[in-house]
Structures are given as C-alpha cells and as structure tokens.
Amino acid sequence: MLLKEGEIRIPSGCAISGLISRDGNRINGGEIVKSISYMHDRSNGLGGGFAGYGIYPEYKDYYAFHVFYNTNEARERTERFLDRHFDVINLSRIPTKKIPAIKNEPLIWRYFVNPLPTKIASSQLDEKEFVAKCVIRINNDIDGAYIFSSGKNMGVFKAVGFPEDVGEFYRLDEYDGYAWTSHGRYPTNTPGWWGGAHPFALLDYTIVHNGEISSYDANRRFIEMYGYKCTLLTDTEVITYIFDWLNRKQELSLEDIASIIAAPFWSEIEGYEKSEPEKAAKLKYFRNSFSSLLITGPFSIILGYTGGIMALNDRLKLRSMVVAEKKDVVYIASEECAIRAICPDCGNVWSPRGGEPVIINLSEEGKRKCL
C-alpha cells in the first residue's frame, strides 16, 4: 500500500564522499563504494553514482563518452553523429553485473573518441569547446540519448539505486584511479532517474552535491546566455556548467571561483577594507561582476577535475563536511564514519568553514605518474 505524506518519514539527506592520492597511487573503486555505503541512510535509493579519475590509462589521450540510450534507434542516431564528428577508436557496452537492486537499466555504452581535425578547424573552436558543444548537442537534440561522462582518462558511473548497489552494478572493483568521488541521492524536488543521478559531468569536470540551491533559476538564466542548456530537471547540473564556464573559459582559479559562488558577506568584505584592501577590492569586483553566479541555499559539493578534487560548503555551512588525511591520501565526506570506514586510523580530521574551499591537487610525482 502506498503511504500518504505524513504516514511515512524517510530520514535522509544526500551523501557525498571523495578521496585522492596526491602521489598518484591508484586506488581501487571498491574503496569509494565502501566509504559511501556507511552513509546509506542519507539516500533513499533514487540515485547513486561515482566519478573515477585516472581509470583509463590505456586510452588517456581519448575522450571517454559514457552514454545512456533508451532505444537502439537513439544509439544509431548518436553513432551516426559521432562518426561524422569524431574518430571512434573503441566502442563497447559498459560491463555491468545483473543484480536485483538495479532494475530498468537503459543501454549503457562507452566510446573512446577524438574529434576530427577537419571538423574542429571548420568549427573555429578549440578542441575542448568543440567536444563540449557536441555533447550538449547530442543531449539536447537526440531524443533518448544522454552522454553522462565526456572527459579524458576519467569516467562517471551512475544509476537509480543505492550507491553501494550502483558500485556493484558497474563492477567498480575492476577500476583503479588516483581520485574518486561519490554520491548517494535523496531527491527532494525532482524524480529519481538515471540521468538525474550524480555526478554531473561536462568534459572532465564532475560535481557531486548534497543540498538544494535556491538560486537555481538566476544561475540558469545567466549560464544559458553562454550556450549551456539546463535540461536535466535538477539544480546540480547548473553548478557543473558554472565551473566549466568560470574555470575553463574564463580561466579563473578554483579559489576565485569559490569566492564567486560562495561569496563572503558584504559585512565580511568590509572587514578586509582596512587590513587587506586589495583582497576587498577583488572580492567586491567578483560579487559585482558575477552576482548571478552566487549560489545560495545549502550545499556541500565535491568537484572532480583532471589532476585534483575540490570540496566546498555554502557560506552559511548548512551541510556537513569533514576532511581527513593519511600519508598522501586526502578524504572528504559528509560524515566522519564514511572516512573511518576505509581509513580507521586517519589523523587530522577537520571541518572546513563555510565558503572555504579545500583544493587537493596531484603532487609533481603524482602528475608524472597520472597525467
């Protein structure tokens, strides 16, 4: 019997977890699956997902497209598009394991591709922009096709289900990467569907998000002026595009982006005016120039990108987040138990302040190994 509102309470809130080996040691996907599973009660089975970086070293110079298809017709249309615009060097279904907890899966395919130089030249775009435009085009124009991962040497794996089941379904213990992020979903305003699970990705940027942003429409209107299309019925998508636009296209540093999307209060900026006038001027400039990219409402996010991860809370810190480290590995999670589960003796457990970005990049040794 379907229980009515008020007759059932689901105690939850999304969960996020991430880890990175600074020295580029490869961490098995099973570790991140175990970590997020300890926050099972923060999700309700309507979405779980993972992003792994450094998982395709044998194809690291190719864009890895992970695609959901509702039908074979959608697949054929998409593959015709890919053949026209890309050199497809490998394609296959993504290996999955049939388990009772994961049902109604779409067709899930993976392509390793490189854009055709002639097409890039005639488009007058740089390579990444060309790829991003193609991804947005397919996701918008081909009904029943959705590219949910499109970076190099990284991949997103997501589904409707609890995250630990999603990890088993995608056989993540068969992948190793230098960084992983994960998400357990408890959708509040939108239906749980495969495309709506986190992480959201464009090129190598991925976002996992716990929270609900009240500035969604202001952010969406602004970012859509620059060619992005927010069509996925969820607020997290727009955060991904904001990072892509500010970092890749505006070339702002991640620290600066944090002070745009989780901007300090005006009262705090006033406090810097005497002691650090240059800092105050910069913060004022950001708040004025990018006022539509201020993200309000509760959020804790982990951004993944080639060579690193970044964690950020909203400036009021309305969601929980802890960070810990041991040796060269840094762990970030909504709850400390998710870190202790895979690193019982990690030290230096701390909570970043609201709006304080935690940015962890590969060391020089890690870059040599992984990039």
Partner 1 sequence: MSAKITAGDMHFKELNRLIRESAESEIIVDDCLGQRYIGSGVSGKHIIINGIPGNALGAYLDGSDITVYGNAQDATGDTMNKGTIVIHGNCGDAPGYGMRDGKIVIKGSAGYRCGIHMKQYMDKIPLVLIGGKVGDFLAEYQAGGRIVVLGIGFEDICPVGSFCGTGMHGGAIYIRTEHMPKSLPAQISIHDADDSDKEAIRADVELYTQSFGGNADELLGSHFYKLIPNSANPYKQLYVNN
* SS3 category, 259: helix
Distance CA 151, CA 61 (A): 10
Phi, psi (deg, nearest 5) at residue 134:
-65, -40
Nearer to partner 1, 297 or 354 (CB): 354
Cβ-based nearer residue to partner 1, 287 or 317? 317
How far apart CA 297 and CA 213 sit, in angstroms, is 5
Tell me how far apart the alpha carbons of residues 318 and 334 are, in angstroms, rounded to a whole number. Answer: 12
Using CB under 8 A, list all residues that contact partner 1: 11, 38-39, 41, 267-268, 271, 316-317, 320, 322, 335-338, 340-341, 349, 351, 353-354
* Shortest distance in whole angstroms from residue 160 CB to partner 1: 22
Q: Count Cβ atoms below 10 Å from residue 121 Cβ, excluding itself.
A: 10
- Complex with partner 1: residue 93 or 274, whichever CB lies closer: 274
- Residue 351 Cβ vs partner 1, minimum distance, rounded to whole Å: 5
CA atoms of 210 and 187, how far apart (whole Å): 10
**CB-based burial of residue 6 (10 Å sphere; 0-12 exposed, 13-18 middle, 19+ buried)?**
exposed
- Indicate the residue type of 186: Y
322 or 329: whose CB is closer to partner 1? Answer: 322
CB of 180 to partner 1, least distance (A): 19
Instruction: Kindly list the distances between the CA atom of residue 4 and the CA atoms of 7, 9, 23, 83, 299, in Å, as whole numbers in the listed order.
Output: 5, 10, 51, 50, 28
Smallest Cα–Cα separation from 334: which of 285, 297, 298?
A: 298
12 vs 4: CA distance, rounded Å? 18
- Separation of alpha carbons 298 and 319, rounded Å: 6
Name the minimum Å distance from CB 295 to partner 1.
18
Residue 14 falls in the annotated catalytic set: yes
Other CB atoms closer than 10 Å to residue 326's CB: what's the count?
Answer: 14
For the bound state, the minimum distance from the C-beta of residue 99 to partner 1, rounded and expressed in Å, comes to 19
- From the list 14, 134, 230, 343, the catalytic residue is 14
Long-range contacts of 125-129 (CB under 8 A, 24+ apart): 128/203, 128/248, 129/249
Closer CB to partner 1, 295 or 342, in the complex: 342
Q: Among residues 104 and 275, whose Cβ is nearest to partner 1?
A: 275
Instruction: Report in angstroms how near the CB of residue 234 gets to partner 1 at its nearest.
Output: 24
Residues tagged active-site: 14
